[in-house]
Structure 1
Amino acid sequence: VNTKLSRQLHPPHKHIYFFLYCFDPLSVESKKAATVVLLLNSTEEDVLAKACDAIYKFASKGDENKLMLLELGAVEPLFKLISHEDPIVRRNATMVLGIMTSNNDVKKLLRELDVTNSVIARLVPEEDIIIHEFASLCLAHMAVEYTSKVQIFEQGGLEPLIRLLSSPDPDVKKNSAECIYHLVQDFQSRAAVRELNGISSLLELLKSEYPVIQLLALKTFGVITNDRETRVMLRENQGLDHLLKILETKEFNDLHVEALAVIANCLEDLDTMQLIQEKGGLKKLLSFAEISTIPEFQKNAAKAIAKTAYDPENRKILHEQEVEKCLVILLGADNDGTKVAASQAVSAMSENLASKDTLGIQGIPQLVQLLSSDNEEVNEAAATALVNLTTSHPSNASVVAEVDGIEPLINLLSAKRDGAVANAATVLMNMATQEPLRISIQNHGVMNAIVEPLHSTNSIVQSKAALTVAAISCDADARTELRNAGGLVALVKLLHSRHDEVRRNACWAVMVCGSDEPTAAELCRLGALDILEEINLSTGRKNNFSKGALDKLLDNNLPQKYSQMGYLSCNNIIADGFYDYGQVKPGVKLLSLEELTAQELDDHLAVVLKRKGKKEEEKPKEEEVVEPVASKVQMEVIPEKTLWLPPFDPILPEYITEASKAILPLATTKEQVVALAQFVVDKMGGPIERDKLHEFSWELHISEIEFELKCNVVPIGKINKGTFYHRALLFKVIADRIGIGCSLISGEYNRAWNEVKLVDDSPHGIPGLLLPPQEYVVDLMYKPGHLMKQRSAEIDHYKRI
């Protein structure tokens, strides 16, 4: 800018040439700066003025000279001289101080000397314009630092600086505007600018012929328009017209970025948004953004759209102006900052359903490409946009898969930025609500990739990763992959989280993962049951899924459930490999069947096993219709090692076949229950007289089987003399196979019983009346098949000694 600040400097030289005219016509030349600095203490005004002038020329040559003057002690006497009564001395001293404050060391000393009040005093209208120029320059340099900024504001410097914005001298305007720009970084100064009518003065600077002054005014507006009150005043003073005019003028392309930043702030207000639309400014703005070749302009345009789009009414207006077309273009820009800003704008616009539809078709292909960018901030912003586009929008989720978005999303699960990981997991979760997409995601190896986010220390990542597991683990193969990848360890660890959302989502994931026996068994082995029990006992930590997770684990690990709770419902179908270990206390580990089988024979109660033999596997197909398919025992594949199998039980399948043929043809459930009870009693040693129960030596029989097998685990089919809990277990096993609903309850002292629900016959005279089912306990000991109504004395006698 060709202002007075850009005056031609004197040719460079190393010395100060100072001519002192004494009374005699003799000139004295001084070539040492130290000598001239000493003259600053002179009492003669002419000497002081010429010394200051010489020092000004010397200091103008560069920072080294300013440091030399600082070391020579020139700053303090110069500071005193800016308040000198002689105007020329005052002017020359202010000029020196103005240019010297560009040096940080000089500024530090001036802060210690507390010069701001004296410099502000030089801004009064009575002072010379040159004093205004260099005093405002001094303040502009000082205002960069926070302490000085506060001092200038508190000592009333803002008012004269605003007044000087109307100075006829462009340098005064420039310095004052620069100082105000630094001051308004503080919210107190922003409010004061409004109160002192600084808005109109700053708007006048936009008309300046000097771009640097216009730029400072725009940068100042860019800060103060963060306040709504300022935006209103700007609109009332027709400031938007000035801003749009700058954008429309090609010669002002170096101001376009800053002008756009101000407009972006203003667009946050609906009234301003509507006004700009009415003037055609919004359409022009979007057009500029599409065709601009200036990266910063495109980035700021995208930021402006993002800011504006946070208001629902603004989103409607933007959609009407087809903002989506502009955003798609900006997503393809070469500048990473523009891509980030455009992705953020897409995220904001996705709150509008119509825009969500449009951007889903046009924007998702671009966003998926950005997922593979080398810039991690771009990755994160693109993933965030995809989260918003796919949430509650199945068709957009499908588009992500169609444009090969699954692989880059899974790759992002190992990104360094937590936001990118969390967002990628969320998109995958949104997609997984559709079964074909879920299967595709699973086939891309997501369960191995999700393990690392589960181990994250970031609670948001943990939460989203757990949700992703919950969304995809509804498939047995996915659960197996997660189990083999070690993901269950991390999932159980998340149950301990202090974050409610993480703990809730972990419970949800455990509930889903616990849907098959092998995974449920592994979760129990890792301690999930104990943690869930603890959570459910706490009113502050339990959640909507903690009880469901506990129930699911137990329902799919029936040996654990029966040992821990002493109860199996009619919905708990006993599968191959079930064993009755007996009651265990909370916190006590339930040994696996393999571990129990490996133990040495002891005198403890036998572990009763329900395990069918090979003969059942070779049965004709017509028999398979009678017996539902049994669940498989977890078999871990161990290379070069023989697989472990539970003890062989050839008799149980024969029992099931025999019972099926005899019982299923019976007409009523009640008849089937009675017949099954009689069948079980026959196989387990027959009925026993109540008074002679102590003579029924079932313990010796069980011991003989243990000795024969050299094992504490006894197959249920080999027991010919069984007591309450043997008979109740056999009844439950066969009932589950032939479709009779019954529960199994364990009591004390080796007592156990079965409960069934039966509907009594309708009372006479009321044909067709359906009565609610009644619960009965089935007698398997004294009167085989006798049905005892609940809450009766005979039931109490049956259950207890």
Structure 2
Amino acid sequence: MHRATAAANPLQTLLDLINSTLSLLLRSSLTVHSFVGRWTALNSKLASLHSSVADISDSPHWAQNPLLHTLLPQLLSTLQRLTALADQCTDAEFAGGKLLMQSDLDMASSSLTNQLRDLDLLLRSGVLHQSNAIVLSHPAPGSDKEDLAFFIRDLFTRLQIGGVEFKKKALESLLQLLNGGDDKSPGLVAREGNVAYLIHLLDFHQQPSVREQAILAVCLLASADDESSRKAVFEEGGLGPLLRILESGSTHLKEKAVMAVEALTADPENAWAVSAYGGVSVLIEACRSGSPATRTHAAGAIRNIANVEEIKIALGEEGAVPVLIQLLLSGTITAQEKSANCIAILASSDEYFRALIIRERALQRLMHLIQDLPSSDTLEHVLRAITSLSASDSCSKILSSSTLFLVQLAEFIKQGNTTLQQISVSLLAHLLVHVSDGNKRALGSCMGSLVKLMESPKPVGLQASAAQSLLSLLTVRSNRKELVRDEKSVMRLVQMLDPKNHEMVGSDFPVAVVAAVLSGGSGGCRKRLVAAGAYPHMQRLAEMEVAGAKKALQRLTGGRLRTIFSWTWRE
């Protein structure tokens, strides 16, 4: 750079002073006679610094970078301090305070190490090789990946090297980028930025505004759909600081932190770490006393960790069950769904948790809840929880004797979505063993739906549950008559008897249902089935020796089965 330009540029003047001071210091550090070991280590750092300063000089846009306005004066001050210390150490018989000199040398060496790190970071970021025109200007929509990567590197360089104002502006730009709606931004930040440093700010920065912005940025990275950004936050140790924020932060920050914790623990490989950070009690307390949003996401995080065996035990010991049940009654719709899901997971695990849940009168609350819930997703989880509790004999008896609950199950079977139907049919099949004939009559309206569900090969087990429920309901005479009056159900049943459909529907279930319909000897039932075409199919099934087919055919023909087979033998 020309002298006139140098005079006009304070940074160039600073760089010239640094170069001259550094050259002198490199020579004098080799001639000291006191504290030689420390100066040998310093000389190595000074040589590295000489190389870094030369690289800065060679960078085309170094003078445009505002970070150097802070970094170069600090560096010159450190070099001047070292020069003064070198002069004192030239005498082999050092007469000053040795401990004080050792301390001064160590402090100067530490400052030099930090400044070397900052220079190295600045050089590696590549920002000194590009025009300052786009620095910290948010890339326009549609910017290519290279421009975005440069923007992120420059942003993190300012975040790590700059003072408070630089950090604030860098974090503002980062938040703007992460809030911009581009799904690729979080992953790019995880790859090009320094997530570890960002997490470091969560615990250790003294400026509340910087810390708060850093928290928001980490929460956005952890909550993003991009797997790589969530992975980076977890692997760099973000879960622990987030749990500490959830424990003692402001309401706003707690809501952001617990949302991030829920997102991180959604990965089963991360869920175990909650216990390692002492987070079980933190999540339970957040679920108990947090804001509605905090409680909702805390319930989601508890749901995520409930499958981890050692954490599951801690949830029971630290009182998660009553908190979840209370949330089930008073939380938002989403909170109810998540708490119901968690209760279902815990209830399905073992008798210990079922006893805990029953002790809190959860069954009665769950039964009451299904009358009012508008969300089918929440209903599914509530029904799963009830299903798990029904493994207890006492719960099974309560459910079996509740006409209101059984009728509600019948409504889900008739009008619910596929998942609700499947859960309801499975639960009904389990309960009907203890259901009275009066309640079976009340359930008669769902028999047509049960016949229809018998046609469904998926999900596995649905046909069997539907058939089992139907067979139990058909032990009541009025239900048998009601079923054969339903022409659609009779036609479906006859079609299921056709051997051509046996790949979709096994033979055993429709045969057993026909036998159950005819078990009372009603001529009207027999005539309706014969008129619908059941006879030839049943005859063929009897010839194929399908289990129960001969007995069902005998009932269908009014006891003439022996005569028919006698004629067939003579022919």
Normalised to the residue count of structure 1, the TM-score between the two structures is 0.46
Contact 2:327 2:339 in 1 (8 A): yes
1:408 matched to which residue of 2? 408
Amino acid of the residue matched to residue 322 of structure 1? G
Contact 1:277 1:283 in 2 (8 A): no
Structure 1: where are the runs of 5+ without partners? 1-84, 92-121, 143-147, 539-545, 568-581, 584-746, 750-801
Distance 2:495 2:226 in 1: 48
1:368 matched to which residue of 2? 367
1:551 matched to which residue of 2? 550
2:156 matched to which residue of 1? 163
2:330 matched to which residue of 1? 333
Distance 1:346 1:469 in 2: 30
Amino acid of the residue matched to residue 387 of structure 1? T
Q: Which is greater in Rg?
A: 1
Q: How does 1:302-701 map to 2 (within 5 A)?
A: 302-353=299-350, 354-360=352-358, 362-373=361-372, 375-377=374-376, 378-390=378-390, 392-401=391-400, 404-434=404-434, 437-444=435-442, 446-452=443-449, 454-455=451-452, 463=463, 465-486=466-487, 487-494=489-496, 500=504, 505-506=509-510, 509-510=513-514, 512-518=516-522, 519=525, 522-528=528-534, 530-531=536-537, 547-559=546-558, 562=561, 566=565
2:238 matched to which residue of 1? 239
Contact 2:287 2:295 in 1 (8 A): yes
Amino acid of the residue matched to residue 264 of structure 1? E
Q: Please point out which of 248, 257, 263 is paired with 2:261.
A: 263
Distance 1:520 1:161 in 2: 84
- Quickly say closer, same or farther: Cα 1:402–1:475, change in 2 above 3 A: closer
Structure number with greater CO (CA < 8 Å, separation at least 6) is: 2
Distance 1:507 1:155 in 2: 67
Contact 1:413 1:450 in 2 (8 A): no
Matched, 1:223 2:224: yes
Contact 1:174 1:216 in 2 (8 A): no
> How many residues end up aligned between the 2 structures?
432
Contact 2:155 2:173 in 1 (8 A): no
2:94 matched to which residue of 1? none
Distance 2:509 2:180 in 1: 48
Deviation at 1:469, TM superposition (A): 1.1
- Quickly say closer, same or farther: Cα 1:563–1:474, change in 2 above 3 A: same
Distance 1:226 1:124 in 2: 28
Deviation at 1:247, TM superposition (A): 0.7
Amino acid of the residue matched to residue 339 of structure 1? Q
- Which secondary structure does the structure 2 equivalent of 1:244 belong to? helix
1:201 matched to which residue of 2? 197
- Quickly say closer, same or farther: Cα 1:156–1:521, change in 2 above 3 A: farther
Distance 2:332 2:139 in 1: 38
Q: How does 1:132-143 map to 2 (within 5 A)?
A: 132-134=135-137, 137-138=138-139, 141-142=141-142
- Which secondary structure does the structure 2 equivalent of 1:133 belong to? coil
Amino acid of the residue matched to residue 481 of structure 1? E
Distance 2:364 2:133 in 1: 60
Contact 2:264 2:271 in 1 (8 A): yes
Distance 1:513 1:161 in 2: 78
Distance 2:172 2:502 in 1: 56
Deviation at 1:197, TM superposition (A): 6.8
Distance 2:543 2:148 in 1: 63
1:289 matched to which residue of 2? 287
Deviations 1:184-227 (A, max 9, x none): 946x974x766657431341454562545522320211237957
- Which secondary structure does the structure 1 equivalent of 2:433 belong to? coil
Deviation at 1:86, TM superposition (A): 11
Deviation at 1:235, TM superposition (A): 5.4
Contact 1:495 1:531 in 2 (8 A): yes
Cα RMSD of the aligned pairs, angstroms, is 4.5
Distance 1:369 1:153 in 2: 57
Deviation at 1:481, TM superposition (A): 3.4
Amino acid of the residue matched to residue 261 of structure 1? M
Contact 1:520 1:553 in 2 (8 A): no
Distance 1:226 1:536 in 2: 58
Contact 2:262 2:301 in 1 (8 A): yes
Distance 2:502 2:257 in 1: 47
Distance 1:561 1:202 in 2: 85
Distance 2:395 2:127 in 1: 65
Distance 1:219 1:176 in 2: 10
Contact 2:61 2:131 in 1 (8 A): no
Deviation at 1:559, TM superposition (A): 4.3
Deviations 1:366-410 (A, max 9, x none): 2212211251423333223323333x4443222324565223222
Amino acid of the residue matched to residue 353 of structure 2? S
Deviation at 1:126, TM superposition (A): 5.7
1:748 matched to which residue of 2? 570
Distance 1:312 1:532 in 2: 52
- Quickly say closer, same or farther: Cα 1:454–1:563, change in 2 above 3 A: same
Deviation at 1:256, TM superposition (A): 2.4
Deviation at 1:258, TM superposition (A): 3.3
Deviations 1:507-559 (A, max 9, x none): 55445445443356644443345446778999xxxxxxx92252342242354
Between the two proteins, what is the percent identity of the paired residues? 13
Higher strand share: 1
Deviations 1:666-722 (A, max 9, x none): xxxxxxxxxxxxxxxxxxxxxxxxxxxxxxxxxxxxxxxxxxxxxxxxxxxxxxxxx
1:35 matched to which residue of 2? none
Deviation at 1:503, TM superposition (A): 7.2
Amino acid of the residue matched to residue 325 of structure 2? V
Amino acid of the residue matched to residue 478 of structure 1? N
- Which secondary structure does the structure 1 equivalent of 2:135 belong to? helix
Deviation at 1:491, TM superposition (A): 3.4
- Which secondary structure does the structure 1 equivalent of 2:252 belong to? coil
Structure 2: where are the runs of 5+ without partners? 1-59, 67-124
Amino acid of the residue matched to residue 433 of structure 1? V
Contact 2:178 2:217 in 1 (8 A): no
Distance 1:530 1:178 in 2: 73
Deviation at 1:439, TM superposition (A): 3.0
- Quickly say closer, same or farther: Cα 1:349–1:491, change in 2 above 3 A: farther
- Quickly say closer, same or farther: Cα 1:467–1:498, change in 2 above 3 A: same
Contact 2:62 2:128 in 1 (8 A): no
- Which secondary structure does the structure 2 equivalent of 1:432 belong to? helix
Distance 1:535 1:226 in 2: 55
Distance 2:189 2:507 in 1: 50
Deviation at 1:259, TM superposition (A): 1.9
